[in-house]
Amino acid sequence: MDPNWITPEEQIEIINSIVGKGDTFVCLGDVGDPKYVPMIKARKKILLLGNHDARGAYKDLFSEIYAGPLFISDKILLSHEPVYGLTWCLNIHGHDHSGIEAYKDGCKHINLAANVCGYTPINLGKIIKDGILSDIESIHRITIDKAIEKKMKKEEEKWEEMKI
């Protein structure tokens, strides 16, 4: 994917310099050789299967394995491949080794394909505290606003009928 790809040992060293024994580590797919997974220090390891992964190869190495995207809150979707069309959530994904814009088709993304993010995991709690979700309107707010708009339109139509 990248001529400057680092070795698995270097990748594990980078991961373990950030992820501690009490942390949860989420892999967004395309694990590679399963022998390296036990070397990750995390207390809990979660895998979203990538297009190069087979569920059976990792079943005893991860606490949880998901075959598709996973909502971890009402505004955060984890996935292997980018998901478009969801303007009301942040999509954190891997897979796209060429990089991706922060916003595409109205959706906010963080691309964590290994080579794109410098082979470095991110701390989800930190980016949330830094305000990554602050400009994403809640699906609940969108639904409420649409319902209010629909109600107001009906009331306007009712008043227009009364004028006639």
pLDDT per residue over 91-138, tens digit each? 999 998 887 666 566 678 899 999 889 999 999 999 999 988 888 777
The verdict on 41 and 90 lying in the same domain is yes
**What is the average per-residue pLDDT within 10-19?**
96
Domain membership of residue 146 as a residue range: 137-164
CA distance 140 to 38: 40
The verdict on 144 and 126 lying in the same domain is no
Whether the predicted pLDDT of 1 surpasses 60? no
Taking only the tens place, the pLDDT of each residue in 46-77 is 999 999 998 788 989 999 999 999 999 889 99
pTM over 0.75: yes
The verdict on 93 and 146 lying in the same domain is no
Whether the predicted pLDDT of 17 surpasses 90? yes
The verdict on 41 and 120 lying in the same domain is yes
The verdict on 91 and 162 lying in the same domain is no
**Predicted pLDDT of residue 18:** 96
CA distance 117 to 2: 13
Residue 114 within any structural domain of the chain: yes
CA distance 72 to 76: 6
Q: How many domains does the chain have?
A: 2
The verdict on 99 and 153 lying in the same domain is no
The verdict on 92 and 163 lying in the same domain is no
Whether the predicted pLDDT of 11 surpasses 60? yes
**Predicted pLDDT of residue 2:** 67
CA distance 128 to 163: 51
Confidence of residue 161 (pLDDT cuts 50, 70, 90): confident
Residue 3 within any structural domain of the chain: no
Q: How many CA atoms lie within 13 A of 27 on its CB side?
A: 28
Residue 1 within any structural domain of the chain: no
The verdict on 85 and 153 lying in the same domain is no
34: Cβ–Cβ under 8 A, 6 or more apart, which residues?
57, 58, 61
The verdict on 79 and 144 lying in the same domain is no
User: Residue 83 maps to which CATH number?
Assistant: 3.60.21.10
CA distance 152 to 59: 53
